[in-house]
Amino acid sequence: MKKLKIFIACDTSSVTKVKKIISQTQSSKIKIGYKFGLEFMNSKNGRKFISKLKNKTIFVDLKLNDTVNTMVSTIKTLKDLKINYLTVHISSGLTALKAVKKVSGSIKIIGVTTLTSLDSQDLKLIGYNKSVKKLVIHQTKLAKKAALDALVCSPYEVTAVRKIFKKEIITPGVQLGKRNYDQKRSMEAKQVKSDWLVIGRAITKGNIKKNIQNLTKELR
């Protein structure tokens, strides 16, 4: 059986909290990586902590979306951290995506499609005329053209994305039981068929060890 792979979203600015998450989420049954977003990376000691992490799969979720020069420069400043994955918004454009990929070195570049906190109505409000699914498919084709290493999409687009993009697919908007927090396009973990699941509060809130045990049971 293929080993389950999960990125645990460390959505905090506290190094102490992250240390607790890491220490209580060791598992021989699940391959676990750790996702750090803007909150932790911009905290007083976040970057320093990540620079000292060893033997962990590290996913830095910055969702870069800027001019080509700024994105390229940012990636160069991250290389000393020895991270494994980094997110960029596909909406930054094909030229930026290709430039980022060119300088990424050993960092796997993940293209972010449409945020799982958005639905079709939200897209209309910000000026998109396509449905979520059509927009994600369009974004996936751009990611493929740019030769990105992985792609983020919601559980509902995995099947359509898989037909186009043959590399790693990473899926947030994953819930345990009926809890979906602020996600609009979410699905229960056992139903999601991507390469990596991203799960945050469902694991890190409350009894972390027990949550990991429950997750393992639910996904088996």
**Per annotation, catalytic residue among 17, 20, 63, 184:** 63
pLDDT in tens, 93-132: 999 999 999 999 999 999 999 887 888 888 888 888 888 8
Structural domains in the chain plus CATH codes:
4-219 (3.20.20.70)
Per-residue confidence (pLDDT) for residue 4, from 0 to 100:
83
Tell me the CA distances in angstroms from 62 to 13, 75, 195, 203, one per residue in order. 14, 10, 20, 21
Instruction: Find residue 32's DSSP bridge partners.
Output: 6
E strand map for the chain: 4-9, 30-36, 57-64, 85-89, 108-112, 150-152, 168-171, 174-175, 187-188, 196-199
Q: What torsion, rounded to 10 degrees, do the Cα atoms 95, 99, 102, 104 define?
A: -130
Task: Give one word for 31, left, alpha or beta, with left for phi > 0 and alpha for psi -120 to 50.
Answer: beta
Largest Cα–Cα distance of the chain, in whole Å? 46
Query: Is 101 considered catalytic here?
Result: no
pLDDT in tens, 55-64: 999 999 999 9
pLDDT in tens, 2-11: 678 999 999 9
- Asked if residues 173 and 154 have their Cβ atoms less than 8 Å apart, the reply is yes
Instruction: Find residue 19's DSSP bridge partners.
Output: none
pTM of the complete model: 0.90
Per-residue confidence (pLDDT) for residue 78, from 0 to 100:
95
Of the chain, the percentage scoring pLDDT greater than 90 comes to 68
Count Cα neighbours of 6 within 13 Å in the Cβ-side half-sphere: 27
